[in-house]
A and B are shown apart, each in its own frame.
Chain A
């Protein structure tokens, strides 16, 4: 029929208009961020991928010749070990942050009362203060001439300073110190939003406190744990400052390798291949997180 044809035609036209409108809106609102992502995120990554495939000559000279030797070197003994160690340290840090973070999050959510805001404030301030300054402060405390050693020496408990810096213990402690607030806050948010009536129901049905915690509270705060783990695990893998300040030349992480190649040695092809490897490791981890916990978990953690 003519009329239905007309309707169809006008519908098609309307759809076309809508499409054009949408394209216009996307350009208007999203072109700046698309520009940033394409020019300053994707392009630099592509460039270092390119440099990772070049040959490194003596004295930081780049030989424009395609080779896989730098990429292959990343998998070789020394570097591979450092990468494994980084992932291991990140796991360890994450676990310790949950271990120390859960009790305080639980306490503030359940028993914080009118001091809740103060508690939260005291947890947030370190997470937003200068990261470098906080690490420096921790170093002041634990260094060879630091406060702890001075105190113990003066008390006569030890005869010579304890070597805390440049040990595995120091690196782990500094990592936990740096990232703990980022674990506490999401767990707190999850616990605070917990419906108390579910716990009461569990108690009424005869579950003991232990069982209530492991069967009800913990599963219901999984989202918070996941968000906190994202916030802690991911930056820890690529950490540079902590191993630099607390590990010295003895304990290196993947981030220190990249920083070392770029800022100290100036070997761009090697540095690029290490950076690509680090980025690839992170993409793999992110993929696993999204697959396991969902994209929402990732975005909620912000």
Chain B
């Protein structure tokens, strides 16, 4: 009998160690963000002055605003494109569909440096799109909408389509059916994909760094530019905010999906 009980315990210890490995650095910067130490790398008593400094730092505020605007536009556009594309891919059968699906996967599976450099050369040497907001937002839509497509497509495969058939049988036009029946039912999936895309766009560093040009510092680019100075208290506070926002977002997604499940 004793043998049966020891395996879960060993597994528990290994699991806790894994979690510590994943969380220790993150917890550390959260702790240090409240530390009085001016290098942000050891504990010297509690303070919130770095947060005050964070919100009065013009560079950080500009970068934050820029990141929020970019992520906001990206989420809206990518989610709309993702929804109609997923619907089309789910409903329609045609030659070349597999090829299209694989092509949509490309921006997700290609290394960011390849996507970033290809877009940079394309924007500067061919399209002459100004680097800054236009180039960053286009780049973000390019790698975020495929993600939206596959998140929503995944949900559609577990979806009850009989309501839509009923609406069509009863004479509703396809457009009306989508607006009144299918759309509202898909709303939890659409919301979830929007919530998941937001951090993708907001956090992206590599592709943004390539196509941002000079003077369009997003928050991750600001963090990167500060990295060479080692730890700084302000980056610790930014990190803390990032992790907190992610947690809140995931809790929100969890509840959206729960309500979506109980609603249908």
A residues contacting B by CB (< 8 A) are 22, 25-26, 28-30, 32-34, 36-37, 40-45, 47-48, 51, 100-101, 103-104, 106-108, 110-111, 117, 119, 121-126, 128-134, 136-141, 143, 145-147, 150, 177, 180-181, 184, 209, 234-235, 237-241, 245, 254-255, 258-259, 262-263, 268, 271-272, 275, 278-279, 282, 286, 295, 298-299, 302
Q: Determine whether the beta carbon of B113 is less than 8 Å from that of A258.
A: yes
Give the distance to chain A from B197, nearest Cβ to Cβ, in Å: 11
Nearest residue (CB) in A for B90 is: A29
Nearest residue (CB) in A for B122 is: A44
Q: Tell me if B246 is interfacial: C-beta within 8 Å of chain A.
A: yes
Q: Determine whether the beta carbon of B150 is less than 8 Å from that of A299.
A: yes
Give the contact stretch, choosing among B16-24, B52-60, B68-76, B162-170: B16-24
- Number of A-B contacts defined by CB within 8 Å: 261
B89 CB contacts on chain A under 8 angstroms: 29-30
Q: Determine whether the beta carbon of A263 is less than 8 Å from that of B210.
A: yes
Q: Determine whether the beta carbon of B246 is less than 8 Å from that of A128.
A: yes
Take A132-B220, A299-B105, A302-B151 as given contacts and tell me if A143 and B250 are in contact as well, using a CB distance cutoff of 8 Å.
Answer: no
Q: How far is the CA of A145 from the CA of B42 in the complex (A)?
A: 10
Interface string of B21-38 (1 = CB under 8 A from A): 111111011001000000
Q: Tell me if B186 is interfacial: C-beta within 8 Å of chain A.
A: no
Q: How far is the CA of A130 from the CA of B24 in the complex (A)?
A: 15
Q: Which of A48, A125, A140 contacts B247 (CB 8 A)?
A: A125
Nearest residue (CB) in B for A124 is: B250
Given A111-B8, A268-B125: 5 more A-B contacts, CB < 8 Å: A32-B84, A32-B85, A40-B122, A107-B12, A133-B239
Give the distance to chain B from A205, nearest Cβ to Cβ, in Å: 18
Q: Determine whether the beta carbon of A33 is less than 8 Å from that of B117.
A: no
Q: Determine whether the beta carbon of A140 is less than 8 Å from that of B150.
A: no
B residues contacting A by CB (< 8 A) are 7-8, 11-12, 14-15, 18-19, 21-26, 28-29, 32, 39-42, 81, 84-85, 87-89, 91-92, 94, 98, 100-122, 125-126, 138-139, 141-142, 145-147, 149-151, 154, 196, 199, 202-203, 205-206, 209-210, 220, 223-224, 227, 230-231, 235, 238-239, 242-243, 246-247, 249-251, 254
Q: Determine whether the beta carbon of B111 is less than 8 Å from that of A133.
A: no
Give the distance to chain A from B115, nearest Cβ to Cβ, in Å: 8
Q: Determine whether the beta carbon of A263 is less than 8 Å from that of B98.
A: no
Q: Determine whether the beta carbon of B113 is less than 8 Å from that of A259.
A: yes
Q: How far is the CA of A145 from the CA of B243 in the complex (A)?
A: 24
Which of B11, B94, B106, B118 has the most A CB atoms < 10 Å from its CB?
A: B118
A141 CB contacts on chain B under 8 angstroms: 24-25, 28
Q: Which of B92, B224, B247 contacts A25 (CB 8 A)?
A: B92
A282 CB contacts on chain B under 8 angstroms: 109-111, 114
Judged by DSSP, the binding face of B is helix
Take A30-B100, A133-B239, A279-B110 as given contacts and tell me if A107 and B118 are in contact as well, using a CB distance cutoff of 8 Å.
Answer: no
Give the distance to chain B from A174, nearest Cβ to Cβ, in Å: 10
Q: Determine whether the beta carbon of B111 is less than 8 Å from that of A140.
A: no
Q: Determine whether the beta carbon of A180 is less than 8 Å from that of B22.
A: yes
Which of A123, A136, A255 has the most B CB atoms < 10 Å from its CB?
A: A136
Q: Determine whether the beta carbon of B81 is less than 8 Å from that of A33.
A: yes
A240 CB contacts on chain B under 8 angstroms: 111-113, 206
Q: Determine whether the beta carbon of A128 is less than 8 Å from that of B126.
A: no
Interchain residue pairs with CB less than 8 A apart (23)? A29-B84, A30-B85, A32-B81, A32-B85, A37-B103, A41-B103, A47-B126, A51-B121, A101-B18, A104-B14, A107-B14, A108-B15, A111-B11, A122-B22, A136-B231, A137-B28, A140-B28, A145-B41, A147-B28, A150-B42, A238-B113, A239-B111, A299-B105
Give the distance to chain A from B119, nearest Cβ to Cβ, in Å: 5
Take A129-B246, A130-B220, A138-B25 as given contacts and tell me if A147 and B42 are in contact as well, using a CB distance cutoff of 8 Å.
Answer: yes
Nearest residue (CB) in A for B142 is: A40
Which of B21, B110, B235, B251 has the most A CB atoms < 10 Å from its CB?
A: B110
A-B pairs with lowest CB-CB distance, top 10: A238-B111, A29-B88, A137-B25, A44-B118, A44-B122, A104-B15, A107-B11, A130-B203, A133-B239, A103-B14
Q: Determine whether the beta carbon of B121 is less than 8 Å from that of A47.
A: yes
Nearest residue (CB) in A for B107 is: A41
B145 CB contacts on chain A under 8 angstroms: 33, 36
Give the distance to chain A from B53, nearest Cβ to Cβ, in Å: 18
B12 CB contacts on chain A under 8 angstroms: 107, 111
A241 CB contacts on chain B under 8 angstroms: 205-206
